[in-house]
Chains A and B, each alone.
Chain A
Amino acid sequence: MKFIEEFRDKELCQRVLAKIKSYGFPAIFMEVCGTHTVSLFRFGIRQMLPPTIKVISGPGCPVCVTSQQDIENALALASLPNTILLTFGDMMKVPAKSGSLERKRAEGADVRVVYSPLDALKIAKNNPDKLCIFLAVGFETTAPATASSILRARDENLRNFKVFSLHKLIPPAMRAILEMGESKIQGFICPGHVSTIIGAKPYRFIPEEYGIPCVIAGFEPLDILQAIYMLMDMLDKGTSDVKIQYKRAVREEGNPLALEIMWKVFEEGDAVWRGLGYLPSTALKIREEFSDYDAMYLLKDMPVTEAEENPLCRCGEVIRGVAEPTECPLFKRVCNPSQPIGPCMVSSEGTCSAYYKYAPS
């Protein structure tokens, strides 16, 4: 298929790999996006690389970084009478103290999986007598879509549609990881699809303030290998910059129209991230102007279960790139994709689930 097969060419991959090997010095890189995590496993890229080059996973799955309290908040919203809670499939199984959305549904709550915020909007339109709450997770890739659904709801005066925004921003999470300084990252493989929206500029602080090179990469094997090659090249030359490998989809300035729509509806707010804790100005909060569509206000006078994390689950460390899933005592023993203990095993792009599925046992 176009734009896919060509980027899986075995011979070209071998050539790029040879280049990477020719540098002969060790390096540690972090891939920020969960889709990269999956590609690295699926195509066996980790095994192809020389053992001196390590690629560790970062906080790039929106399901994984959602805090336990936000899951409890969502469960509370799902329990409201006469309400339909709508969300993406991966949110269904995330376990919390008071259950999961899947369990709420089994107990009779109307919880539905949607593929797009527009599907959520459609369901709201078809159920005018119900309160329809879209539980919105995702980074800059998904936030413009949510924003556009809110704009549409306003245009159509759809008052029963609300959004519970758990949208978060990626570059400040990368800063938080660098500030923690636990993992000795020498380069970032930046998320390709987040970058189609934000472009290259929001990562500039990484080379400028931390001297660490960044490459925005696509998701096919050749893309990832070329990105590693570009990072090795910058390390070799002692330079650091933000480079775009994924030029067929990412422009320097990103997608200005999508950004405009996103900032029209959202403003920066504070967020609690799993693994990274409280990070000011990293959430996308619905602007006051659109508060009629903000489900956050419903929580104000509701009883919400206080979150509790499983003390043995190491998702927090996995997200920061300081622990591998195999170091978790629950991995494969009690925690698996059909009975996940933590979110990193739930989401298809979660690091634990990728290890479970692809890592040789």
Chain B
Amino acid sequence: MCLGVPARIVKIEGKEAIAEVGGIRREISIELLNDIKEGDWVIVHAGFAISKLDEEEADTMLNILSHIPEE
């Protein structure tokens, strides 16, 4: 029923924004998040951005995993 998908915010107008989801642009609401800027990545669910994606955390995780020694 509900697929939350990563999307990039391309334009903001008040509490509304245009987000790019897999190449498709769509109008979403950003009222559930504070301080969202253009260019940010968010999770979009049922037309609302519900969480901001943290690039640093993503890199940290990938970095930790890439240090698992090959067996």
User: Which of A62, A63, A193 is close to B45, meaning CB atoms less than 8 Å apart?
Assistant: A193
What is the minimal beta-carbon distance from B14 to any residue of chain A, in angstroms?
A: 13
A sample of 9 inter-chain contacts (CB < 8 A) reads A145-B48, A145-B50, A148-B29, A148-B31, A197-B51, A219-B4, A247-B60, A255-B51, A258-B50
Q: Which stretch, A115-123, A171-179, A203-211, touches the partner chain B?
A: A115-123
Residues of A close to B53: CB separation below 8 A? 3, 248-249
Residues of A close to B3: CB separation below 8 A? 35
User: Which of B's residues lie within 8 Å of A, judged by CB?
Assistant: 1-4, 6, 8, 22, 29, 31-34, 41, 43, 45-48, 50-55, 57-58, 60-62, 65-66, 68-71
Residues of B close to A59: CB separation below 8 A? none
Contact A35 B4 (CB under 8 A): yes
> Which residue of B is nearest A90, CB measured?
B1
User: Which of A's residues lie within 8 Å of B, judged by CB?
Assistant: 1-4, 6-7, 9, 12, 15-16, 18-19, 22, 34-35, 61-63, 88-91, 115-119, 137-138, 141-142, 144-145, 148, 192-193, 196-197, 219, 222, 226, 245, 247-250, 255, 257-258, 261, 347-349
Query: How far does the alpha carbon of A16 sit from the alpha carbon of B57 in the complex, in Å?
Result: 18
User: Which of A1, A22, A250, A258 is close to B22, meaning CB atoms less than 8 Å apart?
Assistant: A1
Query: How far does the alpha carbon of A91 sit from the alpha carbon of B2 in the complex, in Å?
Result: 12
Residues of B close to A248: CB separation below 8 A? 53-55, 57-58, 61
Contact A116 B46 (CB under 8 A): yes
Query: How far does the alpha carbon of A226 sit from the alpha carbon of B63 in the complex, in Å?
Result: 13
Query: How far does the alpha carbon of A222 sit from the alpha carbon of B65 in the complex, in Å?
Result: 9
Query: How far does the alpha carbon of A193 sit from the alpha carbon of B1 in the complex, in Å?
Result: 13
Query: How far does the alpha carbon of A2 sit from the alpha carbon of B59 in the complex, in Å?
Result: 11
Q: Which of A15, A119, A249 counts the most B-chain CB atoms under 10 A from its CB?
A: A249
Contact status of A257 and B1, CB under 8 A, knowing A142-B45, A247-B54, A248-B61 = no
What is the minimal beta-carbon distance from A231 to any residue of chain B, in angstroms?
A: 16
User: Which of A88, A138, A247 is close to B61, meaning CB atoms less than 8 Å apart?
Assistant: A247
Contact A145 B47 (CB under 8 A): yes
Query: How far does the alpha carbon of A245 sit from the alpha carbon of B61 in the complex, in Å?
Result: 8
Query: How far does the alpha carbon of A197 sit from the alpha carbon of B45 in the complex, in Å?
Result: 11
What is the minimal beta-carbon distance from A240 to any residue of chain B, in angstroms?
A: 21
User: Which of B1, B34, B54 is close to A63, meaning CB atoms less than 8 Å apart?
Assistant: B1
Residues of A close to B34: CB separation below 8 A? 257
Contact A144 B32 (CB under 8 A): yes
Query: How far does the alpha carbon of A59 sit from the alpha carbon of B34 in the complex, in Å?
Result: 31
Residues of A close to B8: CB separation below 8 A? 2
Residues of A close to B22: CB separation below 8 A? 1
Contact B62 A145 (CB under 8 A): no
Residues of A close to B68: CB separation below 8 A? 12, 15-16, 18-19
Query: How far does the alpha carbon of A193 sit from the alpha carbon of B4 in the complex, in Å?
Result: 7
> Which residue of B is nearest A260, CB measured?
B32
> Which residue of A is nearest B42, CB measured?
A249
Residues of B close to A348: CB separation below 8 A? 1
User: Which of B43, B58, B61, B62 is close to A193, meaning CB atoms less than 8 Å apart?
Assistant: B43
Query: How far does the alpha carbon of A245 sit from the alpha carbon of B4 in the complex, in Å?
Result: 17
Residues of A close to B61: CB separation below 8 A? 226, 245, 247-248
What is the minimal beta-carbon distance from B17 to any residue of chain A, in angstroms?
A: 12
Q: Which of B41, B51, B52, B58 counts the most A-chain CB atoms under 10 A from its CB?
A: B51
Residues of B close to A62: CB separation below 8 A? 1-2
Contact A118 B29 (CB under 8 A): yes
Contact A138 B65 (CB under 8 A): no
Contact A22 B2 (CB under 8 A): no
